[in-house]
Amino acid sequence: MIKKESRIVVPLGIVLLCSIAAILLMQLPFFHTLEYKTIDWRIRFRSPDKSFGKDVMAILLDEAIMDQFPCRSPVPRGMLAKLIQIADEGGARFIGLDIFLKNLTSEDKDNELLSAIKESGKVVLVSALREEDGRYRLDLPHKEFLNAASATGVADFPIDPIDQRIRELQVYYEVEGKTVPALSSSLFLLDQGEEVKSSKLVGMERFSEKWPSMNLDSLNRIFINYQGPPASSQPDRNIIKTLPASAVLTGLIPKAWFKNKFVLIGAGYTDNTDAYRTPFYSRLYDYAMTPGVEIHANALATILDGKTITTLPAAVSFMIILFFSLTLLLLERWFNTIISAIALAILCSGYSVFCLVFFERTNLILPMIPLLAGLILTFISITVYRTLTEGRQKRWIKKTFQMYLSPEFVNILLKRPDLLSLGGEEKELTVLFSDLKGFTSLSEIMPPSDLVSLLNEYLDGMTQIIFDHGGTLDKYEGDAVMAFWGAPLEDHEHASKAVAAALEMSRFSDSLSLKFQDEGRPAIKTRFGLNTGRVIVGNIGSQKRFDYTIIGDGVNLASRLENANKQYGTYLMISHSTYTLVRDHFMVRVLDNLRVKGKKRPVKVYEVLGRLNDRHELEFKKMLDCYLQGFLAYTKSEWKEALRLFEEGLGLKPDDGPTLTYIERCRYFLDNPPDDSWDGVFRLTTK
């Protein structure tokens, strides 16, 4: 038996370990990316902040303008010069050019662009990072462009290695002993009056201090606070104003629009390679890639806005996971596994919705995948722990109630010990399975001592009835009893004796239930399934340990019929093969044509109501007559007539399970008539 202290300490230890494991799982790339995907959902499904990025604009080099040139690379320098001039004349605060000017092209066009950059005096160019031997190297623009620009900034973003999405901005990089800002960081610092063109980044400390809420992580990163999809997907949902270069160059866009704006210029045409997946890369937005210049615009807007997305410290996340896991532990202690599983689903769903709402209100990311992982790990671990501990208890009960053979079989063994050798023979037997309704619930609410006492009394009576009717007890499985008739002793009346035993066992169970209720113990009810067929019977096992038992399809069918009682509200179901042998001795009614799981051919099944000479009330006989007529109408697909007859019978016996079952089916078929292929067979999908 399990000590009381262990029942408390061990589950608490499991909860603690599962909570720690949930946090550690986040160190694995897969789970890390999975958590980031939940952040994507939160970003996509929140209401956008209309004021976000009001000081930022993006000019996209669109198809209309690029089609005017014979080639798209390098980007025509004269066109870039004109865009810079227009933005500058409009009073742009700073201009970020997201086109890498690595090389010179034609002298006149390069000079035109150089002049535009110099005259503006507020153009920031992009540099590129490359990795060599695990270290960053910086590729700068051509020195002529570099000297003309106000500053440079890194164009690269951290890309998730698993799903290839850009979610974060690395504010600055350490490259070859230098602190190098990202493009958006350079634009921001210039606006703050900082010098960012020197070999050392001046002002980065003040940059960090100005918005402590930015919460740079250990890699100097922040989440980009995307507020909408790319302009190419759903322009009406794109918060940052995005303009096609063709419209700007043709004068369709008033220059006044650029006044006091950060203007970023970059590629936005269809075959642009500078486009990436972001949180808005989803079916909802046609899997649209976001041009790099739009990502830079969102990154800059995030810095300017100052309302960055914030994550919780690991310690706080751990406490949240621990709290919910302890809540789940309490639910598992109060309720059974099924209810606990439902509670787990509700808890996970409710928390997920809360995370979405909380993020929209606060920009704070509550741990979702770590918590869900912690809850699931806790549920599985506690369930396994309960199963193992309850399994030991059940094994203790089974050890106490070893299988006993009938006195007749003991006498045969005394006379013929050769029956103990391994082997078997095929014989026609009648097999009985019985099971206590709701035993799992009983085992959860009753103290072990009371449960053992109840089972002792119940199984003792059931076993004696089996022996009294010439049956052989095969085994106990907890509360379940398996027995058979016709072996090892030949018995031509095995079917009748088995049904008679089942009726008496049912009466015994009912009388015992009344006694238990008088004693303040739970009521019980037993279900039976019987089948007659050819099975293999004999001693099955090893040289050291074997059992006299039966195997075969006939055994499995009896078990399925016991379970099938649940579908009809019945308690004693027999197969057609048993019915043909007992119909002259017992009152039986047809139940259905069943196709049990794992079988192709249907089986006709019946309910045993009692012996033929038993006295029944007139109302019961009338109800039975209505039922049989209704069943006949049902098999002919006469749903309306069948429903009328079943409802008439129900008025005579309101709690008749099969009648209630067919009323429900008739109503369903009246609303959803089956096609011509309907064969009247009910498919039993569970074992």
Q: What is the pLDDT of residues 511-520, one digit of tens each?
A: 988 988 888 7
- In the block, tokens 């050291």 appear at 544
pLDDT of 500 reads: 97
Q: Which neighbouring-strand residues pair with 212? A: none
For 211-268, the DSSP string reads -GGG---TTSEEE----S--TTT-GGG--SEEEEHHHHHTT-S-GGGGTT-EEEEEE-
Q: Are 510 and 528 in contact (CB under 8 A)?
A: no
Q: 193-197, 458-462, 514-518: lowest mean pLDDT where?
A: 193-197
Task: Give the model's confidence band at 680: pLDDT under 50 very low, under 70 low, under 90 confident, else very high.
Answer: confident
Asked if the bond preceding 74 is cis, omega within 30° of 0, the reply is yes
pLDDT of 405 reads: 54
Q: Which pair of tokens denotes residue 639?
A: 């749903």
Q: How far apart are CA 122 and CA 637, in angstroms?
A: 84
Amino acid at residue number 657: G
Q: Which neighbouring-strand residues pair with 472? A: 484
pLDDT of 630 reads: 95
Q: What is the largest CA-CA distance in the chain?
A: 117
Q: How far apart are CA 653 and CA 630, in angstroms?
A: 15
Q: Are 657 and 568 in contact (CB under 8 A)?
A: yes
Q: Which pair of tokens denotes residue 605?
A: 């099944």
Q: How distant, in Å, are the alpha carbons of 81, 84, 122, 255, 348 from that of 92?
A: 14, 9, 9, 9, 49
- Report whether pLDDT(37) > 70: yes
Q: Is the pTM of this model over 0.95?
A: no
**DSSP annotation of 613:** T
Helix, strand, coil share (%) of the chain residues, nearest 5: 50, 20, 30
Q: What is the pLDDT of residues 259-287, one digit of tens each?
A: 999 999 998 888 788 888 988 887 777 77
Q: How far apart are CA 631 and CA 583, in angstroms?
A: 19
**DSSP annotation of 124:** E
For 51-100, the DSSP string reads TTTTTEEEEEE-HHHHTTSS--SSPPHHHHHHHHHHHHHTT-SEEEE-S-
Residue % of the chain over a pLDDT of 90:
42
Higher pLDDT, 438 or 224: 224
Q: Which residues contact 236 (CB under 8 A, 6 or more apart)?
A: none
**DSSP annotation of 403:** -
Amino acid at residue number 411: N
Q: Which neighbouring-strand residues pair with 311? A: 365
**DSSP annotation of 182:** B
The upper half-sphere exposure of residue 283, i.e. CA atoms within 13 Å in the direction of its Cβ, equals 0
Parallel/antiparallel/unpaired status of strands 546-551 and 526-541: antiparallel
Mean pLDDT of the chain: 84
